[in-house]
Structure 1
Amino acid sequence: MSNVSLTPLFRRSIGFDRLNDLFDYAMQSDTPNYPPYNIEKTGDNHYRIVVATAGFVEKDLRINLENQVLTILGKPAEESTDSTIEFLHKGIARRSFKLSLRLDEHIEVQHADYENGLLKIDLQRIIPEEKLPRQIPIGRKANEQIDTPKNEQKETPKTE
């Protein structure tokens, strides 16, 4: 596997040094193929993770969020082994799994639902007001108040 260097990208960005670590992690780890899952964008700031968990019941599943890592765990209840059953084909894998997904710092888990063998986790990007785009005034210090021009100031009515 080739080693990818992101050094040229860092010349035009500030504070993205952790991005290189994220790419290194993605290149080294094997992508899990069980259970199958989708990541859907349902709106500008809305996302959904859908995990196919055939053969599991709701109590066999757990969802944890720690340090912006969403972990979905599945551990099936022990099956009773019936010695009279002989599988000619066993295509439904009911094995334990651990699926971990890293979330952006402003992504919040809104809701989780389990129906018809599909675990659905709704996410939303909630950007704090101080992180929203804003215009930076030139030549003023941050604590100075910006005056409006005199012709735009509203006159306050005099009370007598």
Structure 2
Amino acid sequence: MRTNFDFAPYRRSTVGFDRLFDLLETSARADTDSYPPFDIEQQGEDQYRITLAVAGFRPDEIEIVAQNNQLTVKGSRADDGDAGRYLHRGIATRAFERRFQLADFVVVQEASFDSGLLRIALKREIPEAMKPRKIEIGTTATAANDRLEAPREDREAA
């Protein structure tokens, strides 16, 4: 069964959507590794939180980097010498790297670690220049009256 989708016809008929198609193709090729498990929740209209279950890691063994609309969370543990004592090791403590694509204007606010859960708070902050603004529409009659009234005021002042 073929799961790949060919975006070539859409690339030819659209302008300015290259980044979107690149993201779709990248996510289609992404590994299906499910470690560490995570949740993404929306906490408000412009607020989100990613929660990763990172049992066995300390905060100083985890690195969070936000760059170019991508959030990367890496974890690596120093090799402990207790490997010989375990009869079964079910808690995964292998190194990991998890990447999240962020939408435009989404910034990381803070990260916290509690009870083996890493929580990363995100917020969409749209710059004032990018927000929609209402444009007043003038009528031609108003504009014509403004032009006619200006010379009268000049005459009265003289």
Q: What TM-score results when the alignment is normalised by the length of structure 1? A: 0.75
Partner of 1:63: 64
How is 1:20-59 mapped onto 2 (pairs within 5 angstroms)? Answer: 20-59=21-60
Task: Give yes or no for contact 2:109–2:122 (8 Å, CA) kept in 1.
Answer: yes
Task: Give yes or no for contact 2:105–2:125 (8 Å, CA) kept in 1.
Answer: yes
Task: Give yes or no for contact 1:36–1:51 (8 Å, CA) kept in 2.
Answer: yes
The list of structure 1 runs, each at least 4 consecutive aligned residues, that deviate by more than 4 angstroms after superposition, is 6-11, 136-140
Tell me, in whole angstroms, the C-alpha distance in 2 between the residues paired with 1:86 and 1:129: 57
**Residues 13-32 of structure 1 deviation map (CA, whole Å, 9 limit, x = unaligned):** 75322111111111112233
Tell me, in whole angstroms, the C-alpha distance in 2 between the residues paired with 1:82 and 1:96: 16
**Structure with the larger helix share:** 2
Tell me, in whole angstroms, the C-alpha distance in 2 between the residues paired with 1:82 and 1:105: 44
Name the Cα RMSD after superposition: 2.9
CA 1:7–1:32: 2 relative to 1, 3 Å: same
Tell me, in whole angstroms, the C-alpha distance in 2 between the residues paired with 1:110 and 1:131: 20
2:56 is paired with a residue whose SS is coil
How is 1:1-160 mapped onto 2 (pairs within 5 angstroms)? Answer: 1=2, 2-5=4-7, 7=9, 15-81=16-82, 83=84, 85-87=85-87, 89-136=88-135
CA 1:41–1:82: 2 relative to 1, 3 Å: closer
Task: State the 1:86 CA deviation.
Answer: 4.0
Tell me, in whole angstroms, the C-alpha distance in 1 between the residues paired with 2:12 and 2:134: 24
Task: State the 1:122 CA deviation.
Answer: 0.2
Structure 1 unaligned segments of length 5 or more: list them: 141-145, 151-160
Tell me, in whole angstroms, the C-alpha distance in 1 between the residues paired with 2:105 and 2:132: 15
Number of residue pairs the alignment of both structures matches: 141
Q: What amino acid is the match of 1:59?
A: D
Tell me, in whole angstroms, the C-alpha distance in 1 between the residues paired with 2:33 and 2:65: 18
Tell me, in whole angstroms, the C-alpha distance in 2 between the residues paired with 1:57 and 1:69: 23
Structure 2 unaligned segments of length 5 or more: list them: 147-158
* Percent pairwise identity: 37
Task: State the 1:110 CA deviation.
Answer: 0.3
Q: What amino acid is the match of 1:121?
A: I
Partner of 2:155: none
Task: State the 1:134 CA deviation.
Answer: 2.4
CA 1:43–1:9: 2 relative to 1, 3 Å: farther
2:82 is paired with a residue whose SS is coil
